[in-house]
Amino acid sequence: MSNGSGKVALVTGGSKGVGQGIAVGLAEAGWTVHVSGRNTERLARTVERIEAAGGTGHAHACEHTDDDAVRRLVTDVHDAGGRLDLLVNNAWAGPRMNHVTPEKFWERPLSDWDSLISVGLRAHYVALHAAAPLMIAAGSGLVVNISSVGTRAYLHSTLYGISKAGLDKLTHDAALELREHGVTVLSLWPGLVRTEQLLASGLDNIAGVPITDAETPELQGRVLAAVAADPDLHARTGSVVITAEEAAARGIIEPDGGTPISPRLMFGGGPVFPPLP
């Protein structure tokens, strides 16, 4: 796949996990991928993987709790290549949680808010706020917010659900305001993802989902690259894309040949945000 050739993406929180997997999947499609995060050694490893996959990679150290730093990041990426075709809002920080017997919200410190909301929601809003005028001027662009089934199902904690529900509402309403300018906004819902942290946890399931059914980080990038290349993409603006379902619809398989399982049943199989009317 090479339909991303010449296009530029920024993946925040791209030093590991889902962010790194997305960067690699985009690189396989020929994208130039900028990744940001705090750990420069991990960012360098992501750039190595981007280039090994056939893309061009650039690393940016960024503290995503700093609004000015996030705005500079978006501007610097745009200015480096004269364009920003895709912004993937993936930066995330969360407190350590007990996934076997989760604590209730009133048993947790109020400081949980500072990571789950300040990084997991505010930093995405700040990046979108900075990117929107650049994409409007270009008359095109795609913003993808990495969300979760935690929007609809209880997952991890009350605050985790609040942050993801807020992110999907950001997707929907920003898409409404940007639609006339040719800019598309989507939420992407990975399932349970086989990150290094998850594999090292020793757990055999999270929220009833077996670790053996977890998706790879790279699948997220392959699905996203295919979605970004869809000529009818703008008709889907404001909607939620579920990685496993999109992969099935497009015949995209895991790097190991496996088939991902949709997390929709975790909340009873009901609807998610559809495209705008």
Buried/exposed 20-32: b ≥16 CB within 10 Å, e otherwise:
bbbbbbbbbbbbb
Each domain of the chain, given as residue ranges in start order, spans 8-267
Distance of CA 165 to the CA centre of its chain: 14
Give 3-state DSSP helix, strand, coil % of the chain, rounded to 5: 50, 15, 35
Distance in angstroms between the alpha carbons of the first and the last residue of the chain: 32
Smallest CA-to-CA distance from 63 within 71, 51, 55 is with 71
C-alpha distance from residue 193 to each of 65, 147, 165, 220, 254 (Å): 24, 13, 19, 9, 12
Q: 178: burial class by Cβ within 10 Å (0-12, 13-18, 19+)? A: buried
Look up the CATH architecture of domain 8-267. Answer: 3-Layer(aba) Sandwich (3.40)
Amino acid at 1: M
Indicate if 160 belongs to the active site.
yes
Look up the pTM and report it. 0.91
Q: Residues 182-230: pLDDT tens digits? A: 999 999 999 876 556 655 555 556 555 655 567 889 999 999 999 999 9
Strand partners, 47: none
State the Rg of the chain over Cα.
Answer: 17
Q: Residues 155-183: pLDDT tens digits? A: 888 998 999 999 999 999 999 999 999 99
- The tens-digit pLDDT sequence of the chain (277 residues) is 456 668 999 999 999 999 999 999 999 999 999 999 999 999 999 999 999 999 999 999 999 999 999 999 999 999 999 999 999 999 988 777 666 677 899 998 998 898 889 888 999 999 999 999 999 999 999 999 999 998 898 888 899 899 999 999 999 999 999 999 999 999 999 987 655 665 555 555 655 565 556 788 999 999 999 999 999 999 999 999 999 999 999 999 887 777 788 888 877 788 888 899 8
Q: In whole angstroms, what is the distance from residue 57 CA to residue 32 CA?
A: 6
Q: Annotated catalytic residue: which of 160, 167, 172, 266?
A: 160
Taken as a whole, the chain contains a residue count of 277
